[in-house]
Amino acid sequence: MGTLKDKTLFISGASRGIGLAIAKKAAQDGANIVIAAKTAEENPKLPGTIYSAAKEIEQAGGKALPLVVDIRDEDQIKAAVDQTVETFGGLDICINNASAISLTGTLQTPMKRYDLMNQVNARGTFAVSQACLPHLLKAENPHILNLSPPLSMDPKWFGGHTAYTIAKYGMSMCVLGMAAEFADQGVAVNALWPKTVIYTAALAMLGDQVKPDYCRTPDIVADCAHIILTRDSKTCTGNFFIDEEVLAEEGITDLDHYAVKPGNPLLPDLFL
């Protein structure tokens, strides 16, 4: 198993949920983690700030740099990347985890919400990757990892929530394009998506729509991200990874410990 010791990771939306789980997993190796997220003050409905995340990362064994970043603003992104390089001397890994969601039909999606999803998901991913790439090109084993689904033109993935699918597929199209663009320069660009629903605080805000007992914890995504990010960037690029398949490649097939309630049937995630 490879290590992320002394590697510097720039993770968008890492104040909670999957982003924080990936950060804490890398921190166990002794990695440097930049928490690039908007939440500087506690939200009573949505626990976790960049500062509480930084404490958890440092307790896990890593170094943390919490930065208030709205990834819709390219100036904020550039300033955060500059501060990352100034603090840690470089940048090895970019993880595009920040995402906005609204599973609404065309007539139920206000344009303000449409714009938010596309600015955060598709545009934000492009902008963060663009800002990180000049530094990744100097790194020893550079990776970009987007938390986005495999691309499919099956109408069933669009019919119920066209706006969200467009925004989320925008992240995946960045994988498709950038993997091809930077393959010769050795920058790996991949996507990772869960086979089953992952229970997070953000999901809890949806109320009773998703019951936690039929979900997995973010740890499964964090373990898979660690596996991908320690692979050779020159030979591991342009993939749309599914968490279960990544673990199976490593000979890990007993996944019960990832379940919120082991033994229960699991809800399949969107887009699979």
CA torsion through residues 138, 142, 147, 148, sign? positive
CA distances from 71 to 76, 86, 92, 243 (A): 7, 20, 19, 26
Q: Tell me the catalytic residues.
A: 164
Taking a C-beta distance cutoff of 8 angstroms, is the pair 160, 103 a contact? yes
**Distance from C-alpha of 17 to C-alpha of 270, rounded to nearest angstrom:** 17
Measured CA to CA, the distance from residue 220 to residue 225 in angstroms comes to 9
Name the strand (E) or helix (H) holding 225.
Answer: helix 219-229
Q: Cβ neighbours of residue 90 under 8 Å, at least 6 residues apart?
A: 8, 135, 138, 139
